[in-house]
């Protein structure tokens, strides 16, 4: 059974209208107030990377589910698939960043490169044509993976009860697909975020983004499942044990993100090299130090302590609240990573850092809601469907 159209019609309409209006208003006010192209595109990058992270993290978790199986993945499979089908929209949403290349990146400005030996040494990799060519390659890989998985899932829905072993093609795609995801998001995070400060580098930066995207996607999937679990057939299938499983996975992603983040900090801080340490010094002083503390508490300390409770993980409203809180802190973390500038010391948080991510979020959520209503809420033709729900759940 598909999600009733009326169930998300108002959400979809309000999100689309609100997102579009907020995007237009942000652009208008940015022009009237003289916010500047660099500020506008940097704030836009924050919103773009956040919602791209939810979509790509959903793609990675979906492939992980096809490799491992389990009831935890079946109850959120449609939510993950709907999130991956927003990738064509996100591909188009990258175009403003391509237009604002010179405003965003120092290495894209010929006058700056001519006066900087370090940028001249990196020019073979950091140049506009190669940068845009790599971006095209990333989006082709991501969209292709999402298209094939969703196409096969649709065929599975139409084909009736599948025999055991029919999931093999999903596994055969998911194994190399996860490798492709890991490689592409590593280079994409370096291109789009790390090169904002082209003098700084970290060999674990891509891995940090993988952990962050997995955490964002799992938190979003839990919140989405909690919001739709009152509809049939989810209402008859989803029980506290499913939320317990998802809560444990959210706990694992919290630990994974914390491990990656602390590893990068420990290596750079203990090395104390002039090429690396200024990046953290800028983000640990003044107002940015307070933001770093909020990220630490909201992304690790509080979720870690709360998710230790078995009863809380089985409580749908409480777990959904924690997941929503984690999502909010993921956006704050991206502001902390992207907003500080080497040439602008202080605490320059701008109102665009809030309005543009919300505007893109409204458009993205409207598309997600539309996609969610187009498929059955449960993959009932999955060959392991009856076995999974017959043992340990129903």
Full domain range(s) for residue 207: 5-385
Number of domains the chain contains? 1
Residue 207 within a domain: yes
Residue 390 within a domain: no
What's the mean pLDDT when you consider all of the chain? 90
Could you tell me the two tokens for 134? 């790599």
Distance of CA 272 to CAs 268, 278, 280, 282, Å?
6, 9, 10, 14
Could you tell me the two tokens for 249? 């996975």
Residue 383's CB is within 10 A of a number of other CB atoms, namely 17
**CB-based burial, 25-36: b 16+ in 10 Å, e otherwise:** ebbeebeeeebe
Calpha distance 78→39 (Å, rounded): 36
Predicted confidence band at 361 (pLDDT cuts at 50, 70, 90)? Answer: very high
Predicted confidence band at 49 (pLDDT cuts at 50, 70, 90)? Answer: very high
pLDDT at residue number 347: 62
User: What are φ and ψ of residue 344, in 5° steps?
Assistant: -140, 85
Percent of the chain with pLDDT over 90: 70
Residue found by looking up tokens 């994974």 in the block: 256
Residue 71 within a domain: yes
Residue 238 within a domain: yes
Predicted confidence band at 162 (pLDDT cuts at 50, 70, 90)? Answer: low
* pLDDT above 90 (res 237): no
Calpha distance 87→139 (Å, rounded): 8
* pLDDT above 90 (res 341): no
pLDDT at residue number 2: 52
Q: What is the pLDDT of residues 163-185, one digit of tens each?
A: 666 678 899 999 999 999 999 99
pLDDT at residue number 295: 95
Residue 298 within a domain: yes
Residue 394 within a domain: no
Q: Which residue intervals of the chain are DSSP H helices?
A: 5-32, 37-68, 71-84, 87-93, 95-99, 101-104, 110-114, 117-121, 128-158, 168-192, 205-228, 234-237, 240-271, 277-283, 286-296, 302-306, 310-313, 316-338, 352-372, 385-390
* pLDDT above 80 (res 346): no
Residue 393 within a domain: no
Residue 391 within a domain: no
pLDDT, mean of residues 5-16: 76
pLDDT at residue number 285: 85
């Amino acid at each position: 059974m598909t999600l009733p159209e009326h169930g998300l019609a108002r959400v979809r309409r309000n999100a689309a209208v609100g997102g579009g209006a907020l995007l237009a208003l942000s652009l208008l006010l940015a022009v009237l107030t003289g916010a500047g192209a660099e500020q506008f595109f940097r704030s836009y990058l924050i919103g773009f990377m956040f919602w791209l992270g939810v979509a790509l993290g959903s793609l990675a978790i979906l492939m992980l589910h096809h490799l491992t199986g389990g009831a935890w993945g079946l109850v959120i499979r449609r939510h993950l698939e709907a999130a991956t089908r927003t990738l064509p929209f996100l591909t188009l949403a990258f175009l403003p960043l391509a237009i604002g290349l010179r405003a965003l990146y120092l290495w894209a400005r010929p006058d700056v490169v001519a006066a900087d030996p370090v940028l001249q040494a990196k020019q073979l990799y950091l140049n506009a044509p190669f940068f845009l060519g790599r971006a095209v390659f990333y989006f082709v890989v991501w969209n292709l993976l999402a298209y094939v998985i969703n196409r096969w899932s649709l065929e599975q829905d139409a084909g009736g009860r599948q025999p055991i072993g029919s999931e093999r093609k999903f596994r055969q795609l998911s194994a190399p697909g996860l490798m492709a995801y890991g490689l592409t998001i590593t280079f994409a995070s370096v291109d789009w975020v790390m090169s904002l400060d082209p003098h700084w580098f970290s060999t674990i930066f891509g891995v940090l983004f993988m952990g962050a995207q997995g955490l964002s996607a799992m938190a979003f999937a839990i919140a989405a499942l909690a919001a739709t679990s009152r509809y049939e057939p989810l209402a008859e299938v989803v029980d506290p044990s499913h939320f317990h499983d998802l809560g444990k996975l959210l706990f694992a992603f919290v630990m994974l993100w914390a491990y990656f983040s602390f590893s990068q900090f420990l290596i750079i801080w203990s090395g104390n090299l002039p090429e690396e340490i200024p990046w953290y010094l800028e983000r640990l002083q003044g107002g940015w130090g307070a933001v770093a503390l909020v990220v630490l508490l909201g992304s690790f300390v509080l979720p870690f302590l709360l998710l230790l409770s078995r009863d809380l993980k089985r409580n749908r409203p409480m777990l959904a609240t924690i997941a929503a809180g984690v999502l909010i802190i993921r956006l704050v973390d991206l502001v902390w990573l992207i907003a500080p500038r080497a040439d602008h010391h202080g605490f320059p948080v701008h109102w665009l850092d809030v309005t543009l991510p919300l505007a893109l979020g409204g458009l993205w959520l409207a598309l997600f809601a539309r996609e969610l209503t187009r498929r059955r809420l449960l993959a009932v033709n999955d060959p392991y469907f009856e076995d999974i729900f017959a043992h340990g759940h129903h």
